[in-house]
Structure 1
Amino acid sequence: MAITEVRGWPVGETLEDLIAYATAQGAEGYAVHQVRVCRCADCGGQVFGVTGDVVEGAVRRTCRGCGAEHFIADSGEYWADITPAVMVCECGGDADGDEEDFNVAVGYSVYADGEGIRALAVTSRCVACGRLGYWADWMVRGGELHLLDLA
Structure 2
Amino acid sequence: MPGWKIGQDIQDLLAYAKAEGAAGYEVHEVRLCQCASCGGRVFGLHGDPEENTAKRLCRGCGREHFIADSGDYWDDSKAGIMVCECDGDSDEEDFELAVAFSLYEGGDGIRALAVSSRCVACGRLGYWDDWMVRSGDLHLLDLA
- Report the TM-score when normalising by structure 2: 0.94
Report the Cα distance in structure 2 between the residues aligned to 1:35 and 1:136, rounded to whole angstroms. Answer: 15
Provide the aligned C-alpha RMSD in A. 1.8
Report the Cα distance in structure 1 between the residues aligned to 2:23 and 2:15, rounded to whole angstroms. Answer: 17
Choose which of 82, 88, 94 in structure 2 pairs with 1:87. Answer: 82
Given that 1:53 and 1:82 are in contact with CA atoms closer than 8 Å, whether structure 2 keeps it comes out as: no
Report the Cα distance in structure 1 between the residues aligned to 2:136 and 2:6, rounded to whole angstroms. Answer: 34
Structure 2: give runs of 5+ residues left out of the alignment: none
Q: Please report how far the alpha carbon of residue 80 of structure 1 lies from its aligned counterpart in structure 2 after TM superposition.
A: 2.7
Report the Cα distance in structure 1 between the residues aligned to 2:132 and 2:76, rounded to whole angstroms. Answer: 18
The equivalent residue for 1:7 is 2
Report the Cα distance in structure 2 between the residues aligned to 1:142 and 1:24, rounded to whole angstroms. Answer: 24
- Please give the per-residue CA displacement for 1:7-43, whole angstroms capped at 9, x wherever unaligned: 1100001101000000011011000010000000100
- Please give the per-residue CA displacement for 1:103-146, whole angstroms capped at 9, x wherever unaligned: 00000001111100000000000000000011101101544000
Higher normalized strand content (fraction of residues):
1
- Report the TM-score when normalising by structure 1: 0.90
Matched, 1:140 2:133: yes
Report the Cα distance in structure 2 between the residues aligned to 1:57 and 1:43, rounded to whole angstroms. Answer: 27
Report the Cα distance in structure 2 between the residues aligned to 1:11 and 1:135, rounded to whole angstroms. Answer: 16
Letter in 2 for 1:136: D
Q: After the TM superposition, list the runs of 4 or more consecutive aligned residues in structure 1 that deviate by more than 6 angstroms.
A: none
Letter in 2 for 1:51: H
Structure 1: give runs of 5+ residues left out of the alignment: 1-5
Matched, 1:106 2:99: yes
The equivalent residue for 2:15 is 20
Matched, 1:55 2:68: no
Q: Please report how far the alpha carbon of residue 49 of structure 1 lies from its aligned counterpart in structure 2 after TM superposition.
A: 0.4
Letter in 2 for 1:111: Y
Report the Cα distance in structure 1 between the residues aligned to 2:135 and 2:124, rounded to whole angstroms. Answer: 32
Letter in 2 for 1:49: G
Given that 1:56 and 1:82 are in contact with CA atoms closer than 8 Å, whether structure 2 keeps it comes out as: no
- How many equivalent pairs are there? 144
Identity of paired residues, percent?
66
